[in-house]
Structure 1
């Protein structure tokens, strides 16, 4: 097990974070299916959604992963999207939220 990834999130958002993380897990499943289907349009949309929602909540590292998924999928680089998917899964396994 790797080190925890700490994200500092505004305490006013504390009640929203469990739902956000649940949605993030569903997006991972949807991204896996998009890759199985070879649908880079859907993969790019998922990356875009991850990027936007993560940055709105203050999850900076997750926002970067979403940005890279979006960019790689838009350029039809499926192998790179798979790498980012692995990083995404690792991120959600290790992220620890600190409310400030």
Structure 2
């Protein structure tokens, strides 16, 4: 797949990453549904979670997109929310996780 994004993650998280990625995909679907309903509070809650969790797991781009999504939700910008949700989905489609030994 073109434009792969390599993310190095601590091997101690290897059991958690598949579920985490599946949950982020579910979050994107919820964002699309919420923006259709103009439920920007729901988008904001999910965006805040994406922002925090991305950095916790080492997905800095996810954190950046989450931050932008949070702002778009706060300003009730449905077009930006949709665009950013698509960017997050594209990112998830392109990311390749490489597990690294834990650093002492």
- What interval of TM-score do these two structures reach, taking the shorter chain for normalisation? over 0.9
Poorly superposed stretches of 4+, deviation over 4 Å: none
Indicate the structure (1 or 2) with the bigger Cα radius of gyration: 2
String of CA shifts for 1:46-86, please: whole Å, max 9, x gaps: 10011111111111111111111011111111111111011
Structure 2: unaligned runs, 5 residues or longer: none
* Count of residue pairs brought into register by the alignment: 100
CA distance in 1, matches of 2:77, 2:10: 35
Structure 1: unaligned runs, 5 residues or longer: none
CA distance in 2, matches of 1:10, 1:64: 20
TM-superposed CA distance for 1:8, in Å, is 1.2
TM-superposed CA distance for 1:11, in Å, is 1.2
Give the structure with the higher percent helix: 1
The alignment's TM-score, normalised by the length of structure 2, stands at: 0.91
Q: Which residue of 2 aligns with 1:6?
A: 6
Q: Does 1:49 pair with 2:49?
A: yes
The alignment's TM-score, normalised by the length of structure 1, stands at: 0.94
